[in-house]
């Protein structure tokens, strides 16, 4: 820590780094800064480093990890490289915030958790759903029993995927390959939010398939290219949390448009609904329905905004704020590797369930 500022580094300076992580770090400039940026492409590393005073650009990971005074890193590499990169950063004695998923298997995740424990380093993982002002507020609302006992959660993260996202600057093809797909890319947000509120799930059953096997890319610099879909572009999950609490989730790259909410929680005395158009707003509005009036709230629907929320913060940008706070000892870890491991097990078992044709038990917890 130099002059009370936490020194952080960025591994892989692609679309997500510039779109959300760097603005998230800049928003906490009084507490943290970037001192090193790594990317195999020098122009990207240099572009990222130029956004922070005296930051150094690197094109080799070894040199980056040895940067003097470096305390923690954001691993923003493509998903297939997460486990190896996380392990190398931990080997270097650094705190790690990994993009999702933490690794490719539950066993790999558990090995990383043990590694971090031996090294005495933090190992946190995206997505940052549960540290947003919105979800902290929802969790308090439900834990305090303001709308009764929770019974059901529903969620939908559905679009055509990055191939149809015209302002995406990366290569969209990887999102349609085996090992990625809509569940690991966007369904993971729903799973973190629901398990963050309901706790660990006990069983999962799923259906899935490839609805649209070939895509035409609409991103200008890839105009005319096509993508062959190699993994399920529709995934529908059912989760059993025990005590007659359930969840239903759609994750899809084959939905042209929808007006369905991104997520809803239902309880014995009311419901909470989050509109899809404001999903990535970390302090976005929440619609709350109460069956009966209380001393402070009327019955029926009411538009609510989490108190003290930053209206400009992006959901993903909440991750850097939390990472810096935990490193500095200002808050307890919420985005734990154990939670990420449980969500990964749900996603992997869901894939198994699509072929097994039955519900599968879950072994992990957090």
* Mean pLDDT within 338-357: 98
Q: Which two tokens stand for residue 190?
A: 């729903």
Q: Is 85 in the same domain as 162? A: no
Strand locations in 12-130 (E): 32-38, 56-58, 72-75, 95-98, 123-125
> Are residues 118 and 158 located together in one domain of the fold?
no
DSSP 252: E
**Dihedral of the CA atoms 290, 291, 295, 297 (nearest 10)?**
30
Same domain, 67 and 176: no
The verdict on residue 332 lying in a domain is no
Token pair of 155 as six digits: 């969620």
pLDDT at 310: 87
Mean of pLDDT over the chain: 96
Report yes or no on 329 lying in a domain.
no
Residues 6 or more apart whose Cβ sits within 8 Å of residue 55: 33, 34, 35, 36, 37, 48, 49
Please indicate, yes or no, if residue 335 is contained in any of the structural domains.
no
Q: Is residue 318, in this structure, part of any structural domain at all?
A: no
State the maximum Cα–Cα separation within the chain, in Å, rounded to a whole number: 61
Main-chain phi, psi angles of 122, to 5 degrees: -75, 145
Boundary residue ending a domain (89, 108, 125): 125
Q: Is residue 328 part of a domain?
A: no
Stretch 123-149: mean pLDDT, rounded? 97
- Here the CATH number for the domain that contains residue 30 is 3.40.50.720
CATH of the domain at 291: 3.30.360.10
Q: What is the mean pLDDT of residues 332-345?
A: 98
The stretch 84-90 carries a mean pLDDT of 98
Query: What's the rounded Cα separation, in Å, for the pair 15 and 165?
Result: 12
* pLDDT tens digits along 37-82: 999 999 999 999 999 999 999 999 999 999 999 999 999 999 999 9
pLDDT at 3 over 80: no
In whole angstroms, what separates CA 170 from the centre of its chain?
18
With H, G, I as helix, E, B as strand and everything else as coil, classify residue 225: coil
Distance CA 107, CA 302 (A): 44
69 plus 48 within the same structural domain: yes
* pLDDT value of position 257: 96
Structure tokens that stand for 60 in this block: 């080799």
- Neighbouring C-alpha atoms within 13 Å toward the C-beta of 321: 19
Q: Are residues 187 and 252 in the same domain?
A: yes
Q: Give the three-class secondary structure for 247.
A: strand
State the pTM of this model. 0.96
Same domain, 286 and 156: yes
* 291 and 214 co-located in one domain: yes
Number of domains in the chain: 2
Helix (H) / strand (E) element for 136: namely helix 133-143
Provide the phi-psi class of 148: left if phi over 0, else alpha when psi is between -120 and 50, else beta. Answer: left
Which of 125, 155, 189 is a domain's end point? 125
**CA 360 vs CA 206, 349, 351: distances in Å:** 9, 7, 10
Give the rounded percent of residues in the chain with a pLDDT score beyond 90.
90
Instruction: Give the domain extent around 296.
Output: 132-310+343-361
Q: Pick the residue with more confidence: 295 or 40?
A: 40
Same domain, 151 and 277: yes
Task: Say how far apart CA 45 and CA 36 lie, in whole Å.
Answer: 9
CA distance 194 to 188: 10
Residue tagged 């995406």 (tokens): 168
How many Cα neighbours within 13 Å face the side chain of 295? 0
> Is cis: bond before 196, omega within 30 of 0?
no
Q: Are residues 220 and 266 in the same domain?
A: yes
Query: Do 301 and 163 share a structural domain?
Result: yes
Beta bridge pairs of residue 207: 236
Residue 231: phi and psi, rounded to 5, are -135, 165
| In 28-81, alpha helices (H) | 42-49, 61-65
Q: How far apart are CA 149 and CA 227, in angstroms?
A: 45
Position 309 scores a pLDDT of 86
Alpha-carbon gap, residue 323 to 122, rounded angstroms: 9
End of a domain among 98, 125, 152? 125
- SS3 (DSSP) at 104: coil
Residue 315 lies in a domain: no
Residue 337 lies in a domain: no
Whether residue 180 sits in one domain with residue 117: no
Q: Cα–chain-centroid distance for residue 4?
A: 28
Q: Closest by alpha carbon to 102, among 335, 361, 327?
A: 335
Residue 148 in this model has a pLDDT that exceeds 90 = yes
pLDDT digits (tens, 9 = 90+) for 212-240: 999 999 998 888 899 999 999 999 999 99
Question: Using only C-alpha atoms, what is the Rg of the chain?
Answer: 20
**266 part of a folded domain:** yes
For residues 174 and 150, membership in a common domain is answered with: yes
Distance CA 97, CA 80 (A): 16
Is residue 157 scored above 60 in pLDDT? Answer: yes
pLDDT at position 1, please?
61
């Amino acid at each position: 820590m130099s002059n009370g500022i936490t020194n952080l580094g960025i591994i892989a300076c692609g679309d997500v780094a510039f779109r959300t992580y760097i603005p998230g770090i800049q928003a906490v400039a009084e507490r943290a800064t970037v001192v090193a940026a790594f990317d195999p492409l020098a122009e990207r590393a240099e572009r990222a480093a130029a956004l922070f005073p005296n930051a150094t650009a690197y094109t080799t990971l070894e040199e980056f990890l040895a940067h003097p005074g470096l305390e923690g890193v954001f691993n923003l590499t493509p998903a297939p490289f997460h486990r190896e990169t996380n392990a190398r950063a931990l080997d270097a004695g650094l705190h790690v915030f990994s993009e999702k998923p933490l690794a490719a298997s539950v066993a790999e995740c558990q090995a990383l958790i043990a590694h971090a424990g031996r090294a005495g380093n933090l190992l946190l993982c995206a997505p940052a759903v549960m540290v947003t002002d919105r979800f902290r507020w929802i969790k308090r609302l439900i834990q305090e029993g303001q709308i009764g006992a929770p019974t059901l959660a529903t969620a939908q993260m559905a679009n055509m995927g990055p191939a149809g996202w015209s302002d995406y600057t990366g290569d969209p093809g990887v999102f349609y390959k085996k090992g990625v797909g809509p569940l690991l890319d966007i369904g993971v947000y729903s799973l973190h939010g629901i398990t963050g509120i309901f706790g660990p799930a006990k069983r999962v059953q799923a259906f899935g398939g490839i609805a649209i096997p070939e895509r035409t890319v609409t991103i200008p610099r890839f105009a005319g290219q096509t993508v062959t879909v190699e993994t399920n572009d529709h995934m529908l999950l059912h989760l059993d949390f025990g005590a007659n609490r359930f969840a239903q989730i759609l994750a899809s790259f084959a939905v042209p448009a929808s007006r369905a909410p991104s997520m809803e929680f239902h309880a014995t005395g009311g419901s909470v609904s989050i509109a899809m158009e404001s999903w990535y707003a970390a302090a976005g509005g929440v619609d709350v329905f109460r069956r009966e009036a209380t001393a402070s709230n009327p019955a029926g629907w009411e538009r609510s905004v989490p108190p003290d929320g930053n209206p400009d913060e992006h959901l993903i940008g909440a991750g850097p704020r939390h990472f810096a706070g935990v490193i500095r000892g200002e808050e307890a870890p919420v985005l734990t590797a154990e939670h990420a491991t449980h969500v990964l097990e749900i996603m992997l078992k869901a894939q198994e369930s699509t072929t097994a044709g039955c519900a599968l038990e879950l072994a992990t917890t957090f």
